[in-house]
Structure 1
Amino acid sequence: LVAAAAFVVGCVVVLMMKTLLVIFATLLVSGVYSDGYDCSGGACYVTTHASSVAIDKNTVVWTRPEQIKEWHFHVYFFQDDNVSVTAALSIKDALLEQVQAHAFVAIFDGVTEQEFPEINISRIPPVEMEPQGPHPCGNYEVWVPMEYIGAVTSWFMLNRGELTILHHPLSGSVLDDHVGRAMWLGPPYRLNLANLPVSSPHAAIAGGEYSNLQLGYSAPKGTDFNVCGDPSTWSPYAPCKWQQSP
């Protein structure tokens, strides 16, 4: 009888513990996803799978341009891994060789006034050796206009090695640019959305991130640089001119 009673008591205790754990987990989850969840930036609206809170277009800048004309590539690397860092910097050096050979136009840490006298080199973001903004690891940014997006995307596909590259547009909606409109070359990483602003548009769409190049959003209206027409309408960096010069 004593053994039977002990067995019954043990079962009751186990059942009570399981019930308490379920209640605790329920309260924890409801607390995290309630209206009182203390979030910031893009993390208030987007989780890794879907929107956790309905996006209010009165507070979140949400634009839809007729055509996306400029992009960023972010080459990711593990900043504490010498092999990964070396691979990323080697890709950057090879990318610079392509720019110097006039294969395409791309702006990133490493280009100088020798390649692009018109731009302010100090505005180019440096290689980040630690997580910065939404990016969870070391990275560097590569700006590319629509006139060369195909050539640069193809080059990265063939030369990225084992590195992951975030490829996102500059469409004016900073949050959606990094989430709904982004693409990945290689395995995707989870971004720190809390560091993404939601109330201000990306300045690039207003007139081009590097407007002095007259490419992307800053290209003259009605100009098709893929058709070799009147040379007087070309930017010096348009494919019809840039790729023909030494």
Structure 2
Amino acid sequence: MRCTCGTCCFPFLTICKRPSAAITPSTSKLTPRLLTTHDDAPHTPAVQATAKMAASELLPTPRHPAADDDEIKEFHFHTYFFQRNPHSLAAAQHIHAEIQRLNASHRFTARVYRTFNTAPVGPHTIGSFETWVPRESFHAVYDWFLRNRHGLSILVHPLTRFEVRDHTEAAVWMGAAVPLDLAGLTEELEEVPRQYPELGLGYSAKK
């Protein structure tokens, strides 16, 4: 038996809460219905305000601006190797040379920093070298590293005013992550670091 009054709050009970409601037998199966906040919760101003507050707590916090126009336009690819391991060192030297060759042949635009670190330098705790990449070549360089890192670990991070964040939560790794020493990094720089402005790429590109 179910209530058919149309306004009862307990349609599946044999006893209707409205005195004047008519009760008729029904042979149809009762389908359980889950309560949802969208369909069944009272839409009072207080409830709506509480829902909005709860939703706001789940939303991601706004990301830090990378530049005046809030776009990341330059990146670093750091290649790590064990400087006392001949095989690891040889793999790094090969990658270092290949990037320069591909850049010279205009396969992509990437600049290998002049220093090939065979000892810890800055936040890098083992041997490493740096490759600067503008966003115009990011896809091509990322693709190349994925297929040609020879088992070495690669740290990819953006260049923004927020050095610590760039090397941590905004960074990605190819291969195993290498511990970093963040003590020498700055939480927030005065301006975005611009490298190789003579190329007219990345942050130095004409708008």
Which interval holds the TM-score relative to the shorter structure? 0.5 to 0.7
Size of the alignment, in residue pairs?
A: 142
Cα deviation, residue 196, structure 1: 1.7
Segments of structure 2 that go 5 or more residues without pairing to the other structure are 1-63
Match of 1:191 in 2: 180
For the Cα contact (< 8 Å) 1:174–1:202, is it kept in 2? no
Matched residue type, 1:215: L
Question: Tell me, what secondary structure is at the counterpart of 1:181?
Answer: coil
Match of 1:85 in 2: 89
Question: Tell me, what secondary structure is at the counterpart of 1:217?
Answer: helix
Q: What TM-score comes out, normalization by structure 2 length?
A: 0.65
Q: Take 2:190 and 2:165, find their aligned partners in 1: how far apart are those partners?
A: 11
Segments of structure 1 that go 5 or more residues without pairing to the other structure are 1-61, 110-124, 222-246
For the Cα contact (< 8 Å) 1:173–1:202, is it kept in 2? no
Q: Take 2:154 and 2:167, find their aligned partners in 1: how far apart are those partners?
A: 12
Q: After superposition, what is the alpha-carbon deviation per residue over 1:101-139, rounded to whole angstroms, capped at 9, x for unaligned? A: 110011114xxxxxxxxxxxxxxx401111111111010
Match of 2:104 in 1: 100
Distance change (3 Å), C-alpha of 1:195 and 1:126: same
Using the aligned pairs only, state the percent identity.
39
Question: Tell me, what secondary structure is at the counterpart of 2:128?
Answer: strand
Cα deviation, residue 203, structure 1: 4.5
> Are 1:74 and 2:78 matched, yes or no?
yes
Question: Tell me, what secondary structure is at the counterpart of 2:83?
Answer: coil
Q: Which has the higher contact order (CA 8 A, sep 6+)?
A: 1
Counterpart of 2:145 (choices 137, 145, 156) is 156
Matched residue type, 1:96: Q
Counterpart of 2:128 (choices 136, 139, 157) is 139
Cα deviation, residue 67, structure 1: 1.1
> Are 1:220 and 2:206 matched, yes or no?
yes
* Aligned-CA RMSD value: 1.5
Q: Take 1:127 and 1:203, find their aligned partners in 2: how far apart are those partners?
A: 24
- Map 1:1-246 to 2 at 5 A: 63-65=65-67, 66-109=70-113, 125-201=114-190, 203-204=192-193, 208-221=194-207
Q: What TM-score comes out, normalization by structure 1 length?
A: 0.55
Q: Take 1:146 and 1:64, find their aligned partners in 2: how far apart are those partners?
A: 13
Q: After superposition, what is the alpha-carbon deviation per residue over 1:29-85, rounded to whole angstroms, capped at 9, x for unaligned? A: xxxxxxxxxxxxxxxxxxxxxxxxxxxxxxxxx644411000000000001111111
Higher strand residue share = 2
Matched residue type, 2:129: Y
Question: Tell me, what secondary structure is at the counterpart of 2:92?
Answer: helix
Matched residue type, 1:214: G
Higher helix residue share = 1
For the Cα contact (< 8 Å) 2:162–2:186, is it kept in 1? no
